Amino acid sequence: MDIKVLGTGCTKCKNLENLTREIVTQNGIDATVTKVEDIMEIMQFGVMTTPALVIDGQVVVKGKVPSAEEMKKLLVK
């Protein structure tokens, strides 16, 4: 699984990255988590509000940090 956390470095962006890494580790998910801070790269995903979460090329969250339970549902399949 390829996971990208899109955000320029604000507190919410950092929280989303930390939560994503925590859920991946806790659940033994085979995934690569990448933080994308380049605004031009973020815009290529059509995201206008950060933070955003992209899983395997699909934007699944934007403009908020989901709860741990919501995040787990997105990542555990």
pLDDT tens for each residue of 23-74: 999 999 999 999 999 999 999 999 989 999 999 999 999 999 999 999 999 9
Q: Is 22 labeled as catalytic in the residue annotation? A: no
Q: Is 20 labeled as catalytic in the residue annotation? A: no
Strands (E) in 1-77, as ranges, are 2-6, 32-36, 52-55, 58-62
Predicted local distance difference test score (pLDDT) of residue 76: 87
Q: For residues 50 and 12, is the Cβ–Cβ distance under 8 A?
A: yes
Predicted local distance difference test score (pLDDT) of residue 33: 97
List, in order of start, the domains of the chain with CATH numbers. 2-75 (3.40.30.10)
Catalytic residue among 10, 39, 43, 48: 10
CA-to-CA distance for 10 and 64, rounded, in angstroms?
A: 12
pTM: 0.93
Number of Cβ within a 10 Å radius of residue 31: 18
CA-to-CA distance for 59 and 37, rounded, in angstroms?
A: 15
Q: For residues 5 and 15, is the Cβ–Cβ distance under 8 A?
A: no
